[in-house]
Amino acid sequence: MPARNAAGTRRRETILQHAADLASVEGLEGLTIGRLAGELEMSKSGLFEHFGSKEGLQVATVETAKAKLWSEVVEPASTATPGLDRLRALIEGYIGYLQREVFPGGCFLSAASAEFDGRPGPVRDVIATAMRAWGAELETHAGIALRQGELPDGTDPAQLVFELGAFATRANALFQLYRDPAVFERARVAVTKALG
């Protein structure tokens, strides 16, 4: 890759990381090319060249946040044995991701989902796709665990994943509101009870 292209790629990654950090706290709607240009000391036209529009910036920011979730949670968990061990690693990885404050506003995708759940369009679509992918990863390993006899007969993998997600999402919301790290241990206790 030519040096100029590599520098452009690094610059775009820096812009998107800053955008994701900002949007995790203030929402995607507050993310504008003008504001981002000011914070990064860039020209609006320079940012426009990267994204084309506010919507393009928002979509790219969501994709960056999903990639961060994958690199911080899914990829490290991939070393665990498929099934219950992997499911536990994914959920523990996600709770740790929230606890480490990978994004200053907590779970980017949870916040973006709440912001855009009732708004049709490309931004909502990319958020929904990211959330589906995360849920599918969890359900895959819940299903494997069930087939391997690691979960009680009759366990509904989709219901189990719904409950596990609720524990982590609640911990995220309470931590963001109260800044009490004890909520993460509560989530871990709930996960342990749910998984046996």
**pLDDT reported for residue 34:** 85
**pLDDT reported for residue 46:** 82
Structure letter (DSSP) for residue 107: -
**pLDDT reported for residue 29:** 94
Q: What is the pLDDT of residues 86-135, one digit of tens each?
A: 999 999 999 999 999 999 999 999 999 999 999 999 999 999 999 999 99
**pLDDT reported for residue 119:** 96
d(CA 181, CA 172): 10
Q: Are the beta carbons of 151 and 142 closer than 8 angstroms?
A: yes
**pLDDT reported for residue 3:** 61
**Intervals of the chain under pLDDT 50:** none
Number of Cβ within 10 Å of residue 104's Cβ equals 13
Q: Which CATH superfamily is domain 58-195 in?
A: Tetracycline Repressor, domain 2 (1.10.357.10)
Q: Are the beta carbons of 93 and 77 closer than 8 angstroms?
A: yes
d(CA 136, CA 130): 10
- Sequence-distant (6+) residues with CB within 8 A of 6 are none
First to last CA, the chain: 50
44-51 and 3-26 helices cross at what angle (nearest 10)?
100
**Domain positions in the chain:** 58-195
- Tell me the residue length of the chain: 196
Structure letter (DSSP) for residue 158: H
**pLDDT reported for residue 166:** 97
**pLDDT reported for residue 4:** 61
**pLDDT reported for residue 2:** 60
